[in-house]
Structure 1
Amino acid sequence: MSLVYCLLLTLCRVVFILPFLFLIRCLYVIFHAHFKGLMIFSLVPVLTSSTLELKYI
C-alpha cells in the first residue's frame, strides 16, 4: 500500500512540477535570446567607437 501511495505522490509531484519547468524553460529561452540580442546591440556601438579611436590614434 505504501508503495502505491509513494508512486501516486511521485506522479502528482511530476505532473505538478512539469508545467512549471516548461514555463521556466520557455521564459529562459525567451529572455536568453532577448538578452543575447541586447548584448549584441550594446556591443556594436562600443566596438565601432573603439575602432574609430584606434584609427585616430
Structure 2
Amino acid sequence: MNGGDCTLEIFRGLGDLYVTDGRFTANLDKNKPGYAAFLQKAMHVYCDREEREGEPG
C-alpha cells in the first residue's frame, strides 16, 4: 500500500486509532502530551475539507 491507496475513510480511521488505542496514544504523546488528540482533530479537519470540496457545487 502506498499513500495513493489511502482513502479518506482509512485516513480518518487512522486518526481515530491514534486516540482509541492506548499504544498509539502513549507513543505519540510521550514527547508532546496531547499530540495524538491533535493529530486526530487535524486529520478529521482535512477529511471534512476534502469531502466538501468533492461535492458538486
Q: TM-score range by the shorter chain?
A: 0.3 to 0.5
Q: Which has the higher contact order (CA 8 A, sep 6+)?
A: 2
Output the TM-score relative to the length of structure 1. Answer: 0.41
